[in-house]
């Protein structure tokens, strides 16, 4: 097992120009961007105070949760099918059989509830502590401790975790880390790949991930308030894309 190594210290720059992007979408939140395309990495932040506030990770937790499930033997591989239980849920894509790829893409929470039940709280705490994930607290009177339980993580901690995954430096089998990164692919161009995961717990929306370039990766973690609930969810990706485009970390539209 590998030891999870910490990211090198970088100077944090406050990006006031990004306020306009948040204002354009009438959104309150934060974004952390760690740009490693240069010899000297740059961390840029909008709303630094909020970037250090621990919040429920919601479905962004599916990224480490898959690693936990693979390591614990709860799931064999990406082809294992989890039969739908017949319960009608809000999102239609959840109401069908799932595998790792589909459950990551559609964010099918019920699959990860199964993982949580089979892994158990003690083993979950051990995994969380091992990767230094937020407050590493899987408690709460709920089967979804990453949504409405006590697990919390900051935007800056999200970026630190993602960097370790990118480098295959988490204490899990390297093949499993590579699989999770494959499951995270959202979009790709000729010379770049976007890997990311959304999250939403009702009041807070996340989009976290990174863009791979030949010169190096650009990591990001955004969270915003979602007072209008479903109507606000598109803002997660829209704001992040605008921010990344402003530093040429994603192609413009």
Q: Which residues are catalytic?
A: 59
Give CA separation, 94 vs 56, 85, 99, 102, 145, in Å.
Answer: 21, 10, 11, 9, 19
**Mind giving me the DSSP string for 238-249?**
HHHHHHHHHTTS
The neighbour count for residue 188, using CB atoms within 10 Å, is 12
- Helix, strand or coil, per DSSP, at residue 53: coil
The neighbour count for residue 10, using CB atoms within 10 Å, is 14
Residue 70 corresponds to which tokens in the numbers above? 């693979």
Place of tokens 């949504």: 147
User: Please, what is the Cα angle at 222 between 122 and 13, to 5 degrees?
Assistant: 115
Alpha helices by DSSP H, the chain: 18-24, 48-51, 62-72, 100-106, 109-119, 121-130, 145-148, 155-166, 174-183, 234-246
Half-sphere exposure of 133 (CA within 13 A, CB side): 29
194/250 Cα distance (integer angstroms): 9
Strand partners, 211: 194, 218
- Helix, strand or coil, per DSSP, at residue 104: helix
Give CA separation, 101 vs 22, 159, 184, 207, in Å.
Answer: 31, 22, 9, 18
């Amino acid at each position: 097992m590998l030891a999870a190594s910490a990211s090198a210290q970088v100077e944090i720059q406050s990006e006031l120009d990004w306020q306009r992007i948040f204002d354009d979408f009438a959104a309150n939140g934060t974004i952390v961007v760690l740009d490693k395309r240069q010899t000297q990495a740059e961390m840029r932040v909008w709303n630094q105070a909020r970037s250090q506030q621990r919040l429920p990770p919601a479905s962004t937790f599916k990224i480490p949760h898959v690693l936990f499930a693979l390591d614990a033997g709860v799931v064999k591989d990406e082809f294992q099918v989890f039969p739908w239980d017949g319960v009608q849920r809000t999102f239609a894509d959840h109401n069908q059989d799932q595998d790792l790829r589909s459950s990551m893409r559609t964010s099918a929470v019920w699959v990860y509830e199964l993982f949580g039940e089979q892994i158990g709280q003690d083993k979950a705490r051990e995994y969380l502590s091992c990767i230094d994930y937020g407050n590493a607290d899987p408690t709460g009177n709920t089967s979804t401790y990453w949504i409405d339980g006590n697990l919390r993580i900051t935007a800056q901690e999200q970026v630190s975790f993602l960097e370790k995954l990118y480098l295959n430096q988490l204490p899990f089998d390297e093949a499993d880390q590579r699989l999770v990164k494959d499951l995270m692919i959202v979009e790709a161009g000729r010379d770049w790949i976007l890997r990311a995961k959304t999250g939403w717990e009702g009041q807070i929306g996340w989009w976290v991930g990174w863009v791979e370039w030949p010169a190096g990766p650009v990591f990001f973690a955004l969270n915003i308030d979602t007072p209008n609930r479903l109507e606000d969810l598109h803002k997660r990706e829209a704001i992040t894309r605008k921010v990344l485009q402003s530093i040429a970390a994603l192609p413009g539209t």
